[in-house]
Amino acid sequence: MCGIVAYIGPEKAGPILFDTLKRLEYRGYDSAGVAIRSDGEIQVLKSAGRIGDLEKVYVGMGMPGDTVGIGHTRWATHGKPSDKNAHPFISGDIAIVHNGIIENYLELRDLLTQAGFEFKSETDSEVLAHLIKMYYHGDLADAVTKAINRVEGSYAVAVVSASSPYLVCARKDSPLVLGIGKDANYVASDVAALLPYTRDIVRMKDGEIVLLYGSKEIEIRDLSGITQTFQTEKIDWNIDAAERGGYPHFMLKEIHEQPRALQETFAGRISEIDGDVQLDLGRTNEEIESLERVSIIACGTSYHAGLLGKYLIPRAAGLPVDVEVASEFQHIQLRPRTLVLGITQSGETADTMISLKKSKTCGVGRLAITNVVGSTVTGLVDGTIYTRCGPEIGVAATKTFTGQLAALFLLAIRLGRARNHLTPDQGRKMLVELTRLPGLVQSVLDKREEIRKVAEEYAGAGCYFFIGRDFLYPIALEGALKMKEIAYIPSEGYAGGELKHGPLALITEKTPVVAMATCGRKIQSNIKEVRARGADVIAFATEGDPDIDKVASTVIELPRTRPVYSAVLCTVGVQLLAYYTAAKLGLPIDKPRNLAKCVTVE
Ligand code: M6R
């Protein structure tokens, strides 16, 4: 996740910017940079790679600059990690750093190019620097306000000018906090960066523009220029807790980041008017029309995302799908009109990379869904759909999984529209409901206390079962994997209909069964089957379901949505269940034994 810092005060800005940037390193980044005012000019220093290396260059230059500056760590989403794509971006005497996604950047880029601005990067962020410059006539706050009123999307932005007595920052849908020092002001995307300097912070709200002066003075305005009141908050977290945003574990933080991550996955890709989706698939509509099959390869949690694709893509696009665990992939059987889709959050998993390489020999089209820009997988495929969830630090995949599901929803609709399997109206209806998903996920997160109590009640179980049917069968597998990975409880994930073909023998009154019950009524027969053997059933069900209370022992109600999208809501439910079980058992949730975040060996 990109990080922003800024400083204005009596001290030299450079050392403070580098120190605060290093405090954001834990979030992951691929490049870094600073812009510091120096003798009436803005000096920019930036590069791909480590902050420490950039700092050495700064020190080697004699630590130039005065007491105002901004800094950034970038985690690529538009344009690969490189020196030229690193922030800050400069336009004349203005420099900016930006987090978020400018959805209308292509349109703004055209406009600014016609106005004579020259672009040096592949990023969406650079348009902001030129847009602010275009509006700047001595009043930086006014220029930033005018610029962001032209922008669609999300932003946290800090802006410095050689000729302005103050720094400006602004936010919408991307976090930014102000630090109020003794006689200085600070900005950061994350409290963790500021703790050695101040514990008095102001959390910026969406639609606010802040002017920070080199004393304690700050002014907050809304987008129409009206001054706003604000409250200072005293932070008593230690640095470790601050890095986790106050959450006890990264996994819980990342579970809570899912509404935001889903918004990022959708940003700039959905056209409700056309009922279609814009994605880089590396092939024309004609080529998509001529496809005969999709073959998905992936491992672990990403494989479960792939399994959902097997239920989704045939219905949305009329294309048969097979899904294979990457280590078992038999490329020999591939036919030419197959699209091979590799799903991998890290983009580096050895089994998936090897299978994708083998598939090339069959002359098929290849596509990837990944979270990491520039990762190995992106070099092996014709097109990539980035999930844009930000880096995931907990070993157990959470927000990257729901990001993969979101990417699959977009892909299925794109394929369906390109193949005329979906009408514009059908596409539109699916997309309208899809855009509600971040808000619905938030409602599930708001039930965390209810889920925590259930998790704690069953934390002593020797074995768990997770069951689901149709779109929810992959989520049953994912729930079982989460419970195994972080709570170390043997857990089985089953298609509801399979229980009676063997696993029912394991069900006793000591086997809690988690039923994903938001999709169809047949699962209720399976719930009855296990209840008859004495098992307690925790059901994730749609609110207002008239029958579920009669069959399950505990019901956790989820908001109503299309059955396929309810897979995401059930996912959040099982993530929280596994998390609170592991927390009750006092286990090392972020780093489970024997597991690594990225498996780069076969
Ligand atoms: O980076 P990938 O998505 O390719 O990783 C695949 C699996 O190693 C990964 O999903 C693993 O199963 C996670 N620990 C699940 O939480």
User: Which contiguous run of DSSP H or E holds residue 344?
Assistant: strand 338-344
The 10s digit of each residue's pLDDT in 545-563 is 988 989 999 999 999 999 9
CB hemisphere CA count around 67 (13 angstroms) = 13
Q: How confident is the model at residue 335, as a pLDDT?
A: 85
Is the bond preceding residue 88 a cis peptide, omega within 30 degrees?
yes
Is the C-beta atom of 474 inside 6 A of ligand 1?
no
Is the C-beta atom of 404 inside 6 A of ligand 1?
no
CA-nearest residue, atom 12 of ligand 1:
300
Q: How confident is the model at residue 362, as a pLDDT?
A: 81
The rounded Å distance from CA 302 to ligand 1 centre is 6
Is the C-beta atom of 302 inside 6 A of ligand 1?
yes
CA-nearest residue, atom 9 of ligand 1:
300
Residue 211 has pLDDT above 80, yes or no: yes
The rounded Å distance from CA 577 to ligand 1 centre is 19
Closest ligand 1 atom to Cα of 597: 14
8 Å CB contact between 342 and 377: yes
Residue 2 is among the residues annotated as catalytic for this protein: yes
Q: How confident is the model at residue 536, as a pLDDT?
A: 97
CA-nearest residue, atom 8 of ligand 1:
300
Is the C-beta atom of 189 inside 6 A of ligand 1?
no
Q: In whole angstroms, give the CA distance from residue 7 to residue 351.
A: 45
Domain ranges for the chain: 3-243, 252-435, 444-584
The rounded Å distance from CA 598 to ligand 1 centre is 7
User: 444-584 architecture in CATH?
Assistant: 3-Layer(aba) Sandwich (3.40)
CB hemisphere CA count around 223 (13 angstroms) = 12
Is the C-beta atom of 191 inside 6 A of ligand 1?
no
Ligand 1 pocket test, candidate residues 301, 323, 370, most atoms within 8 A of CB = 301
CB hemisphere CA count around 418 (13 angstroms) = 21
Nearest residue to 10 via CA among 51, 64, 68: 68
pLDDT bin (cut points 50, 70, 90) of residue 372 is confident
Residue 28 has pLDDT above 80, yes or no: no
Is the C-beta atom of 592 inside 6 A of ligand 1?
no
Is the C-beta atom of 387 inside 6 A of ligand 1?
no
Q: 340 by DSSP, 3-state: which?
A: strand
Q: Does the domain spanning 3-243 belong to CATH 3.60.20.10?
A: yes
Q: Torsions phi, psi of 72, nearest 5? A: -155, 140
> Euclidean distance between the first and final Cα of the chain, in Å?
28
Amino acid at 467: I
| Least confidently predicted of 183-187, 328-332, 410-414 | 328-332
The larger pLDDT score, comparing residue 221 to residue 24, is at 221
Q: What is the dihedral of CA 557, 562, 563, 567, to 10 degrees?
A: -70
Please identify which of the residues 22, 84, 584, 597 carries the catalytic annotation: 597
List the strands of the sheet with 41-48, edge to edge: 41-48, 31-38, 68-74, 3-8, 185-188, 177-180, 200-203, 233-234
Residue 137 has pLDDT above 70, yes or no: yes
Is the C-beta atom of 444 inside 6 A of ligand 1?
no
Closest ligand 1 atom to Cα of 349: 4
Closest ligand 1 atom to Cα of 345: 3
Ligand 1 pocket test, candidate residues 250, 324, 346, most atoms within 8 A of CB = 346
Closest ligand 1 atom to Cα of 396: 16
pLDDT bin (cut points 50, 70, 90) of residue 75 is confident
Q: How confident is the model at residue 216, as a pLDDT?
A: 72
For residue 109, CA distances in Å to 27, 78, 89, 102, 150 come to: 29, 14, 14, 11, 12
CA-nearest residue, atom 1 of ligand 1:
346
For residue 334, CA distances in Å to 286, 299, 330, 412, 520 come to: 20, 19, 8, 21, 34
Average pLDDT, the chain: 93
Q: In whole angstroms, give the CA distance from residue 52 to residue 72.
A: 13
Is the C-beta atom of 396 inside 6 A of ligand 1?
yes
Identical fold for domains 252-435 and 444-584, yes or no, is yes
Q: In whole angstroms, give the CA distance from residue 172 to residue 338.
A: 41
Percent of the chain past pLDDT 70, that is, above it, reads 100
Q: What is the mean pLDDT of residues 375-400?
A: 92
Is the C-beta atom of 477 inside 6 A of ligand 1?
no
Residue 5 has pLDDT above 70, yes or no: yes
Please identify which of the residues 2, 299, 519, 570 carries the catalytic annotation: 2
Is the C-beta atom of 575 inside 6 A of ligand 1?
no
- Residue count of the chain: 602
Quickly tell me which residue has 């070099």 as its tokens.
Answer: 379
Alpha helix segments (H runs only) across 78-215: 105-114, 126-135, 140-149
Residue 463 is among the residues annotated as catalytic for this protein: no
Residue 20 has pLDDT above 90, yes or no: yes
Quickly tell me which residue has 């989460």 as its tokens.
Answer: 482
pLDDT bin (cut points 50, 70, 90) of residue 1 is low
Is the C-beta atom of 370 inside 6 A of ligand 1?
no
Task: Read off the pTM.
Answer: 0.82
Q: Which CATH superfamily is domain 252-435 in?
A: Glucose-6-phosphate isomerase like protein; domain 1 (3.40.50.10490)
The two beta strands, 365-370 and 491-495, are unpaired
| Least confidently predicted of 40-44, 106-110, 172-176, 318-322 | 172-176
Q: What is the mean pLDDT of residues 34-60?
A: 93
For residue 313, give every residue at least 6 positions away whose Cβ sits within 8 Å of its Cβ, in sequence order, or none: 294, 319, 321, 408, 411, 412, 415
Q: How confident is the model at residue 27, as a pLDDT?
A: 76
Is the C-beta atom of 300 inside 6 A of ligand 1?
yes
Closest ligand 1 atom to Cα of 598: 1
Ligand 1 pocket test, candidate residues 599, 600, 601, 602, most atoms within 8 A of CB = 599
